[in-house]
Structure 1
Amino acid sequence: MAIEITFELFSILFAVAVIAGFIDAVAGGGGLITIPALMWAGLPPTAALATNKLQASGGSFSATLYFVRKGLVDLRQMYLSIVCAFLGAAAGAVCVQQVDTEVLKLVLPFLTLTIGLYFLVSKRISAHDKRQLISPTLFAFTAALGVGFYDGFFGPGTGSFYALAFVTLSGFGLAKATAHAKLLNFSTNIASLLFFAIGGKVFWMLGAMMLVGQVIGATLGAKMVVSQGSKFIRPLVVIVSMLMSIKLLSEQYGLLVF
């Protein structure tokens, strides 16, 4: 299938990628903006998912690089989680081609709503680290692996799920949790992209153009995370989670269209 890339289409998708990259770096959920945009451009659903992984990889890499440079992420402590996230996403990308995702479509809106409510009311959400509930090794083989599988299998809201896991299980402050979530999200994006590429599902030219926009937006978002911290992240996570829930419910039940 060929897509005619006009200047108008390029401009719209580039702007969408910038906005999605910014939101994804701070709160996650950027895929719920870019995937519909890619489908609007004429890509079939599987190709839209695959191409989204290409441009999302650029955004998650640039945000992660910024966080590492600012000292929010220590890569030496995250190797096992990175590997587990990668393997989980690879397994999910393989499984999604074999099974029906309808159950996840039914459950996901309520999961994202729960995340939004948790970030709204939980006393564990703060700028400072709290007591760690599980070891980094156990985190790697549970949260990193499990959410990684989800990202390869389905995807929307992965950054929010990882941030929630780091806050609740590792006791991270919100900015630190967001930074580490983006690191693991980069690992899962690369794994998913690899398997989609093997299947020939990626539209490389379109994805590469959007990747540039993602890098710009994600870098701006990462800077906001570092400079503003939880006072900026927390309300945006709540808003994005609520909007994600509404959008997913509207798609599932035909309640709204936006």
Structure 2
Amino acid sequence: MLTTALAIKLGLLCVAGFIAAFVDSIAGGGGLISLPAFLMAGIPPYFALGTNKFSATAASCTSSIKYIKSGKANFELLKYLIPFTAVGAFLGASTVLAIKQEYLQAMVLVMILAVGIYSLFSKTMGTEDRFTGFTKRNILYGILLAFGIGFYDGFFGPGTGSFLIFGMIGIYGFDFIQAGGNARVLNFVSNVTSLIRFAIQGKVYLVFGVPVAISMIIGARMGTKFALKNGAKVVKPIFVTMSLAVAAKMLYSLIW
């Protein structure tokens, strides 16, 4: 039987999870909301990482299926990128204790701030689909992106979706919806791979993870539906907002 305090804590986590998944399925950056929520609930850091991966995996799976059914995921491309995403995520989760995270956080702060500012001032970025086909060069760039962001997601995580969307637009000329569909599939792969690694180490609290996962599934379904219905021009300002919000949160964490 749940105590009143635990029920309140679970309720707040579920609300945070719903909002995180809704936003993340549109533009990435949901980890900015969900992971701090687990930490604020008093869950130890590595259990917070593992439990957040559990819930986020359920949400990214839901969102990925919706994008795939809508024809917004390109498996001609993903067949090359998925294996490298998985390898990168596994290595990232395996080495999470090897490097002090504050060093990586400083580098990521600069990168995601640049992504947000560039997206804000580029009037045409991601608003129309400029994809013209695959070449050996852009496939190679995609593989490097998939491996690098997979590693980053396994090791640290915040901003993964935003980086993937930005990379997909920059390399292939996709609009935000096409980029988002492919990014969600790759994000699901990195999530589930990282989750396996955390689960092997017993770093998942199912008593928190299962209820939050259910709320995140609902949020992901609604967020994906919103993105598909409203198109790239509506998604772009949300993407810019979340990129700058992730940067602001990281800057706050570094200073305080």
Give the TM-score normalised by structure 1: 0.92
1:1-258 correspondence to structure 2 within 5 Å:
6-122=6-122, 123-131=124-132, 135=136, 137-254=139-256
Q: Secondary structure at the match of 1:6?
A: helix
Give, as a single letter, the amino acid of the residue that structure 2 aligns with 1:127.
Answer: E
| Structure 1 residue runs without a partner (length 5+) | none
Whole-angstrom distance in 2 between the partners of 1:212 and 1:5: 20
Whole-angstrom distance in 1 between the partners of 2:223 and 2:128: 17
Whole-angstrom distance in 1 between the partners of 2:7 and 2:19: 18
Deviations 1:5-30 (A, max 9, x none): 72211211111111000010011111
Q: Is the 8 A contact 2:73 2:178 kept in 1?
A: yes
Q: Is the 8 A contact 1:132 1:169 kept in 2?
A: no
Give, as a single letter, the amino acid of the residue that structure 2 aligns with 1:67.
Answer: Y
Whole-angstrom distance in 2 between the partners of 1:111 and 1:4: 42
| Structure 2 residue runs without a partner (length 5+) | none
Aligned residues: 252
Q: Is the 8 A contact 2:115 2:243 kept in 1?
A: yes
Alignment RMSD, CA only?
A: 1.8
Give the TM-score normalised by structure 2: 0.93
Q: Is the 8 A contact 2:63 2:184 kept in 1?
A: yes
Whole-angstrom distance in 2 between the partners of 1:140 and 1:239: 25
Distance 1:69 1:222, change over 3 A: same
